[in-house]
Amino acid sequence: MLIAMMFGGTSAWAKEVRVVEPEAALTEIGRKLEARYAEQLNALKEEILKSAPQVDGQLVAALLKAYRQEVSLSDALRKASVAELKAGDKDPKIDAAKKEAARKATAEAEEAIRQAATSSLDLYHAVLKQVGTLLASDRLDAQLVKMVVLAEATPGGLAAFAQQGEAQEALVEKLLSDTDLMKQMVHAGGAGAASMDRR
């Protein structure tokens, strides 16, 4: 996920369904808080991107293409497997030919996936080699976890809570200054987990 975030978001890898609650109308104080949290988020993104190793754009494009091909081949395998299961049950001679053709199509689809996975694996390794030093290090952990919390909770969402009073603003500030607490929050499912539990 870290790699995907560095290259423009996780949507390139998977579509995540999230429950998004409408943010409360912000007061003047809330808008100022939102601007401050948004500024922190942007500063963290810049800092992380400056520290992150550069990855060959063509390599990333090839990796994404290979991933899409694997998804397509998986769909083809699923269809071939279903066809194999449904292959005739009426005329034994015709059914045998249909079943054999379906088995052959399934085997070909399985082999195509194996080949695509092998080439994808080589691309994954090449990308990981370029970002390995960042992934092996914990020097950006505090910035990364704070960026995730700010992005997931959203500056507007944090501001809507913080504008309710000094105690709420202090809670947000305490959260954003406590790396261990933010790590626990992210590991527990992020800022949206508590919102979804209330439903």
pLDDT at 30: 95
Who contacts 160 (Cβ-Cβ below 8 Å, separation ≥6)? 23, 24, 26, 30
CB-based contacts of 62, cutoff 8 Å, min separation 6: 123
Per-residue pLDDT at 142: 94
pLDDT value at residue 21: 53
Q: What pLDDT was estimated at residue 19? A: 43
Q: Where residue 89 falls among pLDDT bands split at 50, 70, 90?
A: low
pLDDT level of residue 45 (50, 70, 90 thresholds) = very high
At a CB cut-off of 8 Å and minimum separation 6, what does 1 contact? 10, 13
- Asked if residue 44 has pLDDT above 50, the reply is yes
pLDDT at 158: 96
Specify the pLDDT at position 198: 38
